[in-house]
Amino acid sequence: LRLVPPAIAAAGSGASGTGASGTGAAAGVRAQNASLRAQVQTLQTQLAGEQRLVTVQNQELASLQAKLGLPVRSVTAPASTAASTAARSPDPSSTTQWSGSAAARAW
């Protein structure tokens, strides 16, 4: 067993089908898994932010409807969705600004 820097392991993963390339391939799979997990985390963070925006918009609409004397329709997410979102929602102070399109923000 020998340790190799990531640059060498990445270069070795494209080599012929020897035992060393198997180690390089495993390192490549681990790197890909880490990248995919980071992407999932980023998407979950964006989803949580967008859900917060929808909640704020719904509250604002309900407030405006109440001021106008219109009937307020309550739209709530299923309890399981709300609970799972709350359980994995990151600290709001650590999230980045939402980067949706202007048309989506105008909605």
pLDDT, tens only, 14-30: 544 445 567 888 999 99
Question: pLDDT tens digit string along 60-88?
Answer: 999 998 999 877 676 666 555 555 555 55
pLDDT confidence of residue 103: 46
* pLDDT category of residue 95 using cuts at 50, 70 and 90: very low
Question: Which helix (H) or strand (E) segment is 56 a member of?
Answer: helix 19-68
Burial (CB < 10 A; 0-12, 13-18, 19+), residue 76, is: exposed
Under DSSP, the state recorded for 84 is H
The model carries a pTM of 0.45
